[in-house]
Structure 1
């Protein structure tokens, strides 16, 4: 059976598609069979990222790893559950299936969370994003879980009732800046406190870098730059590659040995 990785957060702009693309292509680059699903039916940032990659590979005659992009059958007789149909086709022939969820609460996203063996929740390093995980008092004390944490808790309960394994939940601190150290410490302290209460691991994600916005039109990732002619690896790109390496290592996925 494939290991299911779900990238979810009910807030847009947290870096879900960038995280999904880099994790999926990193696994493919290491020789794993990877499939991808984009549940954001309207925006499809992750799906278009992969389509851009396929087009760039074809037009440039390159040989780059390409995760298989699955599709939801909108004409399925079982319109209430097109996800299960897509998963049944992808599961037997892939090692990993990565599902990117929309930045809002939908039925498909809720179903995807129940399938997750590993759940990655990217969040901007701010208390605005933190509010989706927990409610805070003005003095910084955690009052209780918020809407997204409650949805994850429901998914965990559903998996337990179905006899499935636990969800390894990793909260990813994205867009970490070099300034505002006081705010970073406060957010970090609040996340550490909350992680012990509701059961997730905290991982450093990607800093705010221009390179991520430049890669999307060609469907490239940080790991592709050395394979594309004319690209120069500057210090920022090298640091970003290390961030990706640290993330894949922290995820501790089955059968994955980081070798890039």
Structure 2
């Protein structure tokens, strides 16, 4: 049966005053793009600012975010560390002979979970699987902010769009980008909500190359057609992989690692990358972000009819 299952890193949600939680979805159909690492760093950044954060892991197979949170809780207990933790829930999909029946139950459980969480939390961060599916599409249609991490290569770019091998001009919008566009339309029809989409370039090379310049040009062209913003994310640093077993992030104090000593150059550089990424997301966490969110709500309230998406986003 599909369900939001509380594990030892979770707790049972209780009803409270409506806070209108901001839903952040980290999604990409390609595995290995850094979704879970990005998600966890966003979560810890919000927790360190004093926000109440709930997390939902929709990847029923890998459950990487679930294991990240579990590792963090265990590390905090082992060394009695004051690590901030989200209220985490993993998602188990329904298993019925009827696909419609399974999807119906998945839908009701996820909607119920989001509704309960947003009553008591400021932010909900959802980590999605690396493949298309019903829950993948449903979560995207619920998002206020969509983060799509991608490795800095044309292999990962192919998830968004296809290019001509000679001219590198955009020849076709890919499956995932089409799915996001449809999710935007569904969200607009459902509650007049706007989905802010940010494509995050991970594992960027330290030196500019001709290939990087071409990739950037292609991303800029596609962003104009699809309406997403572009941000730099995390580079290929060993330290990001070292954090996972401890459940730590670049934003945690260096002394919380088992090595001790002073912060390394790699640690400080990783922290600066994450802080830059968080600023680029423009979440409603400071005066600038809140003003932007208020402006969006004001515009929506004054809007007499839904935006005609086909006129804005290219086919």
TM-score class, shorter: over 0.9
Pairing of 1:46-85 with structure 2 (within 5 A): 46-72=65-91, 79-81=105-107, 82-85=109-112
* CA offsets 1:202-243 (integer angstroms, 9 cap, x no match): 000011000011110110001113341615311121111111
Is 1:3–2:30 an aligned residue pair? no
Shift of 1:75: 7.2
Comparing 198-207 with 78-87, which one deviates more in the overlay? 78-87
1:234 matched residue in structure 2: 264
| Cα separation, partners in 2 of 1:75 and 1:147, compared to 1, 3 Å | closer
The total of aligned residue pairs comes to 258
Give the Cα–Cα distance (whole angstroms) in 1 for the partners of residues 39 and 226 of structure 2.
Answer: 24
Separation (CA, whole Å) in 2 of partners of 1:46 and 1:72: 11
* Aligned mates of 1:223, 1:117 — CA distance in 2: 24
1:158-169 correspondence to structure 2 within 5 Å: 158-169=186-197
* Mapping for residues 11-26 of structure 1, pairs under 5 Å: 11-26=30-45
Contact map agreement 1:225 1:231 (CA 8 A) in 2: no
Q: Decide whether aligned partners of structure 1 residues 237 and 225 sit closer, same or farther in structure 2, where only a CA change above 3 A counts.
A: same
CA distance in 1, matches of 2:94, 2:202: 37
Partner residue of 1:171 out of 165, 182, 199: 199
Provide the rounded CA distance (Å) in 1 between the counterparts of 2:196 and 2:106: 27
Q: Which residue of 2 aligns with 1:147?
A: 175
Distance 1:121 1:74 in 2: 23
Query: Any stretches of 5+ residues in structure 2 without a counterpart?
Result: 1-19, 96-101, 289-315
User: 1:198 maps to what in 2?
Assistant: 226
Corresponding residue to 2:141 among 85, 90, 114? 114
Higher alpha-carbon deviation: 183-192 or 70-79: 70-79
- The 3-state SS of whatever aligns with 2:211 is helix
Moved more, 226-235 or 103-112: 226-235
Distance 1:172 1:70 in 2: 25
SS in 1 for 2:90: coil
* Aligned ranges 1:74-113 → 2 under 5 Å: 79-81=105-107, 82-113=109-140
Give 1:105 deviation, angstroms. Answer: 0.4
Structure 1 residue 255 displacement after superposition: 2.9
Deviation, structure 1 residue 180: 6.0
SS in 2 for 1:72: strand
Give the RMSD, CA atoms, in angstroms.
1.8
Q: State the shift of 1:63 in Å.
A: 0.6
Mapped to 2, the partners of 1:41 and 1:195 lie a distance apart of 31
Taking a change above 3 Å as real, the CA distance of residues 61 and 157 of structure 1, as seen in their structure-2 partners, is same
Q: CA deviation at 1:85?
A: 2.0
Tell whether the 8 Å contact from 1:222 to 1:241 is kept in structure 2 after alignment: yes
TM-score, normalised to structure 1's length?
Answer: 0.94
Map of 1:251 onto structure 2 = 281
Q: Distance in 2 between matches of 1:221 and 1:255?
A: 19
Cross-structure match for 2:8: none
Q: Compute the TM-score of the two structures, normalised by the length of structure 2.
A: 0.78
